[in-house]
Amino acid sequence: MKQKYILFIVFAFISLKGISQNNYSVTAIPFQPFSGTLVALTTPDDKYSQVITLPFSFDFYGNTYNQLVISTNGYIDFRTNLATQTSPWSFSSTIPSTSFPIQNSILGCYEDLDNSAATGTLTYGVYGVFPYRKFVVFFNNQPHFSCGTTATSSFQMILSETSNSIDVQIIGRQACRMEWGKRRYRSC
């Protein structure tokens, strides 16, 4: 499977005082996944994590954050009031839309992921030293809902200190295909 490394910022769907932001760019750079011992996150399916304190301040569209929550559906959210609540996994509007339920977030590989069987891991941690630390969130072999372990996603979201850059590395993603009758539906 082709590995991709994308400097990700444009696809961060947010609503900030009704003003759209356009000062970020997407640039391809060499694929460089992070590995090592990270803190395991054992958040249940379709939930946000507890509040996680960042080791540095992070500027996201002009707002500075020191905390975040991680959704088990593949994204980072700066709305810490959502900690331990249900994370949206389904919506009926097109994107972009003001009714899109996820705002002020970094979408890594947003989809309905379900690791109830604990076949994959969801971890986070810090690499490097001041002033160039990186906060890394790693979804590793996360199964897609309705597909068991036959379709998984592995990706990393990296927030960089000082530069405030966001990297999303798609390590691998398998499509989740389900078949009912003679029609084939793709749910992921």
* Interval 101-146: pLDDT, tens: 888 899 998 888 988 888 899 999 999 999 999 999 999 999 988 7
The model's pTM = 0.78
Report the candidate in 128, 160, 115, 168 with the shortest Cα–Cα distance to residue 3.
Answer: 168
Q: Which two tokens stand for residue 1?
A: 């499977």
Q: Which two tokens stand for residue 144?
A: 């897609």
- What's phi and psi for 81, nearest 5 deg? -65, -10
Domain span holding position 85: 4-31+39-186
- Three-state DSSP class for residue 80: helix
Where are the strands (E) in the chain, listed by range? 4-7, 27-28, 39-40, 52-60, 63-71, 75-77, 105-107, 121-127, 134-143, 152-160, 166-173, 177-180, 183-186
Q: Which two tokens stand for residue 29?
A: 């750079």
* Domain count across the chain: 1
Q: Which two tokens stand for residue 106?
A: 């970094």
**Tens of pLDDT along 12-63?**
333 334 444 456 677 877 777 887 778 898 888 999 999 999 999 999 999 9
CB count in 10 Å sphere of residue 164: 16
